Amino acid sequence: RWNVNKSMNLQNKEKYLQEAAQWIKQGNVVAFPTETVYGLGGNALDSDAVKEIFRAKGRPNDNPLIVHIADRAQLDELVTEIPEVAEKLMKAYWPGPLTLIFKASDRVPSDVTAGLDTVAVRMPSHPVARELLLKADVPVAAPSANLSGRPSPTTADHVWTDLAGRIAGVIDGGPTGVGLESTVLDISGQHPVIFRPGGITLEQIAEVAADVELDQALVTEGQAPKSPGMKYTHYAPKGSLTLVRDPDRIHELVASETAQGNRVGVLTTENRQHKYKADFVFACGADGDLAKTAALLYNGLRQFDDHHIDVIYSEVFPESGVGAAVMNRLLKAAGGRIIE
Ligand code: TXA
Ligand code: MG
């Protein structure tokens, strides 16, 4: 486990990142911070390293990985064409939390793409991720560094809880910033299509590509998602989570579950935190501060587990801006359960 928090002196930081980069070059997998969540990285061009990522996470192998690069020039060997709209989006939002789906070149192992003819690529902005990628000098395939099905990790402790003993190491760069994964945007077809809402919002993409669409599966229930990862119940805490549109209803629900002997939790904001009488109440930021809510969400979901909560009720959040990603993850964590 390498510590490269800002407080470390520069020399140690260099040494640790060099060592971690070496591990990656040698075909091992290493967890590292990005501006969204921690990733579990291995050499994307080394099919054995990629298999090791799937093994460490317990990830189904029909779910493709995102390839991380630090330099625009690395894109050329990974893809067969770079559409005009991709150039514009990269100019506007790279480095940053936007993953683009291109037509894949022969260089990309099929383990990375799960046999699809496309490849997802992103250029993270986190300084530790960038330095690691530059030192490793290979494109790095990296899913979120959680055990498959658990909430994505936003601290090195989350990674360690899930993966200690299963990976070469984790670079501790402190808590991540955005707190939710990157936006996954397909630009390989006629129109850009959002497969997964994330750190770069629909509104931001529309500024550059006015014809952007949402994958129907994000809008209509029962539609098969275009992105394989979106079909899994994901991000789930151990307790059973239900979203509740009307906060007043939550009081009755909590009382009834408590009477049945369950340990009950509530996910709310600072504004109503003190009003709930539950075994554990998590304040996920303040009303109107969706960036803070996004940053705290996964940490909150994990805390319900730490408090051995059986039943969780969550308020709903506005779906504007990064709120779309917050609600997407909450609904998935709740297996779609919402009381209107
Ligand atoms: O912010 C992030 O994107 C983080 C950090 C570590 O970069 N990574 C991440 O990776 O969230 P992962 O593996 O947890 O999610 C990747 C998502 C999955 O839903 C996967 O199905 C989708 O991207 N994906 C990857 N390649 C794809 C492709 N060629 N076509 C469609 N979806 C793809
Ligand atoms: Mg993930």
Q: Which atom of ligand 1 is nearest to the CA of 145?
A: 6
**Which residues on neighbouring strands pair with residue 264, listed in sequence order?**
311
CA of residue 238 relative to chain centroid, distance? 18
How many Å lie between the centroid of ligand 2 and the Cα of residue 181?
Answer: 8
What is the structure's pLDDT at 233?
62
**Which residues on neighbouring strands pair with residue 327, listed in sequence order?**
none
Which protein residue has the closest C-alpha to ligand 1 atom 17?
A: 229
Only one residue has tokens 């498959």, namely 148
Inter-residue contact 34 to 46 (CB < 8 Å):
no
Distance CA 82, CA 313 (A): 44
Mutation probe of ligand 1 site: the residue of 50, 54, 66, 100 with most atoms within 8 A of C-beta: 66
270-299 pLDDT tens trace? 999 999 999 999 999 999 999 999 999 999
Dihedral angle sign, alpha carbons of residues 210, 215, 218, 220? positive
Inter-residue contact 182 to 68 (CB < 8 Å):
no
Only one residue has tokens 């955005």, namely 178
How many Å lie between the centroid of ligand 2 and the Cα of residue 269?
Answer: 25
- Assess: ipTM above 0.95: yes
Residues 6+ apart with CB under 8 A from 260: none
How many Å lie between the centroid of ligand 1 and the Cα of residue 243?
Answer: 25
91-149 pLDDT tens trace? 999 999 999 999 999 999 999 999 999 999 999 999 999 999 999 999 999 999 999 98
Query: Considering the entire predicted model, what is its pTM?
Result: 0.96
220-274 pLDDT tens trace? 777 788 888 777 666 789 999 999 999 999 999 999 999 999 999 999 999 999 9
Q: Which ranges of 210-268 would DSSP assign to H, the alpha helix?
A: 216-219, 247-259
Which protein residue has the closest C-alpha to ligand 1 atom 13?
A: 143
The answer, yes or no, to whether residue 5 has pLDDT greater than 80, is no
Give the CA distances from residue 192 to residues 206, 209, 215, in Å, rounded to whole numbers and listed in that order.
Answer: 10, 7, 10
**Which residues on neighbouring strands pair with residue 67, listed in sequence order?**
121, 141
Structure tokens at 264: 């009950």
How many Å lie between the centroid of ligand 2 and the Cα of residue 293?
Answer: 18
34-85 pLDDT tens trace? 999 999 999 999 999 999 999 999 999 999 999 999 999 999 999 999 999 9
Structure tokens at 147: 């055990």
Distance CA 185, CA 175 (A): 25
Inter-residue contact 74 to 55 (CB < 8 Å):
no
Only one residue has tokens 């690395």, namely 74
Mutation probe of ligand 1 site: the residue of 163, 184, 231, 232 with most atoms within 8 A of C-beta: 184
H or E element, residue 286:
none
Spell out which residues line ligand 1, taking CB within 6 angstroms: 34, 36-37, 39, 63-66, 97, 99, 101, 113, 116, 118-120, 122, 142-144, 181-182, 184, 195-196, 227-230
Which protein residue has the closest C-alpha to ligand 1 atom 24?
A: 64
